[in-house]
Chains A and B, each alone.
Chain A
Amino acid sequence: MGLERRGPQEEAGRPASHGWPSRFHRLEAGFGTPAGEPICWSKGLQRFLSGVLIVVGVAGFALMAAWPVRLGPKPPPRRVFVRVWSGWTGHEQDAFDRAVQAFNRSQNRIFVVNTTTGEDDTRIFRAITAGVPPDFFQIWSGEYVGALAANDAVVPFDSLLKRDGPPRDEFIRGSLGLGKFEGRHYSMPYLVDASAIYWNKDVFRAAGLDPEKPPRTLEELQQVAVRLFKKRPDGTLERMGFEMPSPEIVIALFGGKFYDPVKRKILADCPRNVEALRWFVHMLEVQGGSVRVDSFASGFGQYNSPNHQFFVGKVAMMFSGEWWPSYVEKFAPHVDYGVAALPYPAKYPELAGTTYLGGNYFCIPKGSRHPKEAWQFLRWAQAWHAQELFSSVMHGVPNMLAVLDSPKLTTGSREKRAFGVVCRIAGNPKARWFPCTPVNNLYLTELAAAAQLAARHKKTPEEALRDVRLRVQQELDRVLVQPPAAGVKQAAGER
């Protein structure tokens, strides 16, 4: 009705041009025509232009909808086309593509095509929410597996593992534990990451230390770090004896706990954790304090480059993963280094030989069109040759215990021997990992913030960790509104 309203001129007995309300008329007249002259297009032209617009619009939408979006190679006929999203790029993408090709050659029913999605883990959230997930996907960090599991966005593997998978005791314990939430396994591993201590033997020699004798306990680590630590006359640091790892790794070294899955309780401030944070703060203190160390660390070179602090002698000891030997050979083959298990607190000798695990997580999303075929790939990925193939090109630790001793991976060059050391460490049953919860991202961010506040004496370690517990617990209580599924108690007993 309103659209038919006449302009004031018309109401006053003067017809507005073309029957348009006068305000429209003014706009029209001012637009690129002599003042007061409306644009006069012939009816035919108007119809033609409208027709063209409509046809182009409709055709455009139709084309977008119908265009076959297919990345990567065309699947051969009569094979099930399975899409996987992975985050690897560059030479790592090539490595995974080789594994995928090996799988495609190994059988004639399924054809897997890999699409690399970069570093953004959250992309899968959007894909699942939009109802267009891939058939399976790799996710970088365990930070999101718990959130996906808690929202029923990924498929549990338990029945598949029981029916068709390798026995669980053939896996590195943590490789399955990383994706275990409320008693169910929501991610399958394809290689794991294991931390070890790396030390620069040249720096040890220059300081009069035995280069073949790395610190075995945290107390020894502190003594050695103090000896290797160097300060300039102006108070700035020249070399750190030991580069501090993330607080969760230090907590794991002390045998600390993060989460009680039975009671659904965050255990951030349990006594061992407080002890660990005290040691963390003390280690920073003996190396110049938190602000000095942060200032020094802000001048470190890029991680995967010859300018890394370990290569240029700015750091004498550090924790890193199994990929480090390959980085040394690639960026600084002249560096003489050693690798060993993470040190442990002298008063907890039962923790000797420990490591901290992370991994590559593969999940099958709810809404996957080919979950069975995706499982076939993940099942294949656990076989000896598949583990060996991927590990040899990706420099990740095989997640199957038997493959850890593979001579192909662990004997020969300096790089392989060092890699073998990490493989042996990774198989240690005392290895620790961060548990899978729906609030891991918040939890880890809060732990990092708490460690900084404690290191700068803004809070005591107890206060800082208590605040982490309160904040994360509050969030967890909001997320886990449903009661735990049956079987959680049993799962908790396994831990």
Chain B
Amino acid sequence: MARRRLITGILFISPWVVGFLAFTLFPIAASLYYSLCDYRVLSPPRFVGLANYSTLVRDEYFWRSLLNTAFMFIELPIAVAFGIGIAMLLNQAVKGLPFFRTVFYLPAIVPTVAVSMLWLWIFNPDLGLMNAALSKFGFPTFGWLVDPKSAKPAFIIMDLWGVGSGMIIYLAALQGVPQHLQEAAALDGAGTLSRVRHVTLPAISPVIFFMVVTGMIGLFQYFTQAFIMTSPRGGPEHSTLFYALYLFQNAFEYFKMGYACATGWILFVISVIATVVVFRTSARWVYYEEER
């Protein structure tokens, strides 16, 4: 009887299990094997040991793409600060609050491709709104996406425009901050800034932690915007050749699938290390209610 019920249960979950094995676990395992092969899709993979990895270490573009991706991590604290800042403003009881919340959230629902096309024109050095606004107020203008110095900052600015998706999560967290703690702090004479620092931020720190980890993984995968917005691919002087873009080029443009798999595995290891580091440090700055 137990066995029959177990079989029935397994049959019910089998679509997911089969899907997981066939479309997740197997490709992961296969990519590990292919990373040890010279595999160009049209011919069978040829085992080459660690040759792909040793070539990668000597590959100038690999390091360039890694540095470019690392640069984008500047975005992470700024995005967190922006998200929390806007969420705090939108957590105040002011007139027209739903309107403001909608306005700030709206960019988050625009597809990345559409956002990229839009910002392509905003960043146009000669005709774009960005330089027009800067010169109107007497600031220096930039080449944005055609200049290696300003190309990555341009992406960061664009991404901050879409900070609404994080903002909505911070807003939900802020609304869960215990009011009695705020009141107790106020009674003890804590000012606004002090309450933010000692009550609000610790209270929402699990959410900040979650956003940092997911944001970090998202930055490791930075691709679409660079793919659409910069030409030749990889941007001016390879300044927007991000890791995922380089991986894509190797896999789907040059059909160096084994090499791309090795690139992917290195990214995986880096992501795991970064996530572990963040998890380890989280004990110092993330507060869970049950600990108190």
- Any chain A CB within 8 A of the CB of B233? yes
In contact, B8 and A4 (Cβ under 8 angstroms): no
Contact with B along A94-127 (1 / 0, CB 8 A): 0000000000000000000000000000100110
In contact, B126 and A125 (Cβ under 8 angstroms): no
In contact, B237 and A456 (Cβ under 8 angstroms): yes
In contact, A153 and B42 (Cβ under 8 angstroms): yes
Which of these binds chain B: A83-91, A295-303, A330-338, A424-432?
A295-303
Which residues of chain B (98-143) have a CB below 8 Å from chain A?
Answer: 120, 124-127, 143
Query: Which one of A20, A442, A479 lies within 8 Å of B2 (CB-CB)?
Result: A20
Number of contact residues on A: which range applies? 35 or more
The secondary structure that dominates the A interface is: helix
- Chain B residues within 8 Å of A441, by CB: 253-254
Taking the closest CB of chain B, its distance from the CB of A413, in whole angstroms, is 35
Taking the closest CB of chain A, its distance from the CB of B45, in whole angstroms, is 12
* Given A20-B5, A125-B255: A449 touches B42 (CB 8 Å cut-off): no
Taking the closest CB of chain B, its distance from the CB of A186, in whole angstroms, is 13
- Chain A residues within 8 Å of B234, by CB: 449
In contact, A298 and B125 (Cβ under 8 angstroms): yes
- Chain B residues within 8 Å of A126, by CB: 41
When C-beta atoms are compared, the residue in chain A nearest to B1 turns out to be A19
In contact, A3 and B147 (Cβ under 8 angstroms): no
C-alpha gap A80/B153 in the complex (Å): 59
Query: Which one of A125, A294, A475 lies within 8 Å of B146 (CB-CB)?
Result: A294
Taking the closest CB of chain A, its distance from the CB of B236, in whole angstroms, is 7
- Chain A residues within 8 Å of B75, by CB: none
- Any chain B CB within 8 A of the CB of A495? no
- Chain B residues within 8 Å of A439, by CB: 254
Interface centre among B1, B41, B42, B146 (most CB of A within 10 A): B42
Query: Which one of B8, B9, B126 lies within 8 Å of A299 (CB-CB)?
Result: B126
- Chain A residues within 8 Å of B127, by CB: 299
Taking the closest CB of chain B, its distance from the CB of A97, in whole angstroms, is 29
C-alpha gap A234/B236 in the complex (Å): 23
Taking the closest CB of chain A, its distance from the CB of B226, in whole angstroms, is 15
Contact with B along A28-54 (1 / 0, CB 8 A): 000000000000000000100010011
Query: Which one of B2, B147, B237, B252 lies within 8 Å of A122 (CB-CB)?
Result: B252
C-alpha gap A213/B41 in the complex (Å): 51
Which residues of chain B (1-48) have a CB below 8 Å from chain A?
Answer: 1-3, 5-6, 8-9, 11-12, 38, 40-43
Given contacts A147-B42, A295-B125, A449-B234, 6 further A-B contacts (CB under 8 A): A3-B6, A46-B8, A291-B147, A445-B249, A453-B237, A475-B254
